[in-house]
Chain A
Amino acid sequence: MRRVFGPLAALTGLMFVGAPFMVARAPYESSMGLVQKIFYFHVPSWFAMFTAIGVCGVASLIHLFRNSPRADRIAEAAGEVAVLFGLMGLVTGPLWGRKAWGVWWIWDAKLTIALLLEMTFISGILVRKYGGPGSDKLAAAVGIFGLAVVPFVYEAVNIWRTIHPLTSVVPTLPATMGGPFWFCTAAYMLLLVVLLMMRVNLGKRQAALDELYLAYED
């Protein structure tokens, strides 16, 4: 795993350096113009968040029913990384909306549920930090609940009336826009993997330290 980490991290860094050049070469969108290029950072951050939540939800299920410390560490790491990517989405979205819609924020279904999803995973971190004994199980339940909310966030634009672009935008992208978009998405996914590996390693070391303390006290 360690042998893979270095090249993976380097590749991620290179892709993030190259991403603006790819985005700069992408054509302008007809109605929104230059500001639409935020799309290339905004949507991949949500894709990365949903993937992190998927990892967190599955690991939480395993921990909840099999009491696996390893799964708990993965769930903890994925939950934290999900908050990071959600924050990226919640910051880049209003920057786009301010120009495209004329406002920073609208309390429509898509945006509101996305904010609630972010808050759900922040609450998971708070539960782990301040919940005391058994907080890992509570956080696992929060992780599973968060996973159940993801389809609502994704499908909100198709279910409720909203000014947010529809999900059909991505599959119908022309090649000149699709290339940079999928490049950026790959960069975000690699960043997700790199951060997850680092955060899981931190959890492993923290668990080792806890064991050392216990051994020392005995």
Chain B
Amino acid sequence: MSVRRLLLALTFFVILSSSAFALQPPAGQSEFVPVDSVPVADQLPAAPLLVTAYSFVWLAATVYLWSIWRRLNKVEDEMKALAQKAPRR
């Protein structure tokens, strides 16, 4: 009878102690490992990326508009030059 009680007590002890071990907090950091760069999540603020994206859209549209305007002016200048030449022939 006493052996059975002892075994029961031991079983409960093992079960309870294992759950107590399982609920232990993770071990504290024992050493610091240096890395070459800051982790990505910490190093990049989003605002400059957002501003760059919007600025690029404006810049690209403006440059393209300017290129059309420049090409159109060139064509008009050539047409004028040709029109001036034509009557002299």
Contacts and interface: CB of A to CB of B under 8 A. Distances in A.
Interface of A: 16, 19-20, 33-35, 37-38, 41-42, 45, 81, 84, 87-88, 91-92, 95-96, 98-99, 102, 191, 195, 198-199, 201-202, 205-206, 208-209, 212-213, 216
Interface string B62-80: 0011001001100110110
A205 B74 CA distance: 10
A88 B74 CA distance: 27
Nearest to A38: B53
Classify the interface of chain B: helix, strand, loop or mixed. Answer: helix
Given A99-B46, A195-B64, A206-B75, A20 B54 contact: yes
Given A88-B60, A205-B75, A206-B75, A42 B68 contact: no
B56 A213 contact: no
Contact of A41 (B40, B57, B85, B86): B57
B65 A198 contact: yes
Given A202-B71, A209-B75, A216-B85, A91 B44 contact: no
Interface of B: 40-41, 44, 46-47, 49-50, 52-54, 56-58, 60-61, 64-65, 68, 71-72, 75-76, 78-79, 82-83, 85-86
Interface centre among A81, A87, A95, A195 (most CB of B within 10 A): A95
B56 A92 contact: yes
Given A38-B49, A95-B49, A209-B75, A198 B56 contact: no
Contact of A84 (B41, B47, B50, B64): B64
Given A205-B72, A206-B75, A98 B61 contact: no
Contacts of B82: 209, 212-213, 216
B58 A16 contact: yes
19 contacts: A16-B58, A19-B54, A20-B54, A35-B50, A38-B53, A41-B53, A41-B54, A45-B57, A84-B64, A98-B49, A99-B46, A102-B41, A195-B65, A199-B68, A202-B68, A208-B79, A209-B75, A209-B78, A212-B79
Given A92-B56, A95-B53, A202-B75, 16 more contacts: A16-B58, A19-B54, A34-B47, A35-B49, A38-B53, A41-B57, A95-B50, A95-B56, A98-B49, A99-B49, A195-B61, A195-B64, A202-B68, A205-B72, A206-B75, A216-B82
A96 B49 contact: yes
Contacts of A41: 53-54, 57
A35 B57 contact: no
